Amino acid sequence: MNLRRASLLCLSLCLLVLSYSSAYSQEFDKVEITTIKLSENIYMLQGAGGNIGVCVGDDGVFIIDDQFAPLTAKIKSA
């Protein structure tokens, strides 16, 4: 493979990755997270990324999740 073909291949792959990540990030703007109270201090957050357990106590909030990082801001606001 010559240098020109390798450069074109690299450029094509970069553009593909950038367009995919752009489309992927836009989907998170549309995700809705609902809060469901299960007991006095236990809640469940439901959303497109799955369910999240939340325990609220006097000393803080404990969140049980599998690290769905792109939705962190929405999870905190729920």
Question: What are the tens digits of pLDDT across the range 25-73?
Answer: 556 677 788 888 888 888 888 887 678 888 888 888 888 876 666 677 7
The pLDDT of residue 16: 55
How far apart are the C-alpha atoms of 31 and 38, rounded to whole Å? Answer: 22
How far apart are the C-alpha atoms of 75 and 53, rounded to whole Å? Answer: 11
Q: Is 10 helix (H, G, I), strand (E, B) or coil?
A: helix
The pLDDT of residue 4: 67
Say yes or no to pLDDT of 14 above 60: no
The pLDDT of residue 53: 84
The pLDDT of residue 58: 85
Under a CB-based contact definition with an 8 Å cutoff, are residues 43 and 57 in contact? no
Nearest to 61 by CA among 39, 76, 72, 46: 76
How far apart are the C-alpha atoms of 64 and 62, rounded to whole Å? Answer: 7
